[in-house]
């Protein structure tokens, strides 16, 4: 497995597990049956951190749709370089930082972490077109 595919796998695992803490919070706030019921406008709101983690998770899923194909395209091209491996690692750590920072409610750092992840995606696009 290439380093790029390893970082993609870790990113998929991270994204796939991000829902667990906010669902646990939902069960604690609304009770087990309330957490399994259909959503309603009358539901007791979740903790603020859990709401932020939910949004961070949604954002991670939206960006995984961009990151994963770029890594797979590069893999199908047989294009693995030190730069692409670093870009994938940076993307993973930026997404992890984004989730933690977003959950903690630190707005400016959240945006910076997102931007670092975006720039890692830009680096992968450049690599696809042979510019990196």
Read off the CATH number of the domain in which 31 is found.
1.20.120.550
Of 85, 98, 102, nearest in space to 51 by CA: 102
C-alpha to C-alpha distance for 31 and 76, rounded to whole angstroms: 47
Q: What is the pLDDT of residues 17-76, one digit of tens each?
A: 999 999 999 999 999 999 999 988 999 999 999 999 999 999 999 999 999 999 999 999
pTM for the whole structure? 0.94
C-alpha to C-alpha distance for 33 and 28, rounded to whole angstroms: 10
Residue 79's domain comprises 3-128
Please give the tally of structural domains in the chain.
Answer: 1
Whether 13 and 83 have beta carbons less than 8 Å apart is answered as no
- Ranges of H-type helices in the chain: 3-17, 19-36, 48-77, 82-104, 107-128
């Amino acid at each position: 497995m290439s380093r790029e595919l390893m970082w993609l796998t870790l990113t998929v695992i991270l994204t796939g597990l991000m829902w667990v803490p906010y669902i646990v919070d939902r069960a604690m706030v609304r009770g087990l049956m309330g957490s399994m019921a259909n959503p309603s406008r009358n539901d007791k709101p979740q903790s603020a951190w859990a709401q932020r983690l939910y949004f961070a998770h949604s954002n991670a899923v939206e960006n995984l749709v961009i990151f994963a194909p770029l890594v797979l395209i590069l893999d199908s091209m047989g294009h693995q370089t030190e730069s692409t491996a670093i870009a994938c690692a940076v993307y993973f750590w930026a997404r992890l930082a984004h989730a933690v920072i977003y959950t903690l409610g630190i707005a400016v750092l959240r945006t910076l972490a997102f931007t670092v992840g975006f720039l890692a995606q830009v680096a992968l696009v450049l690599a696809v077109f042979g510019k990196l």
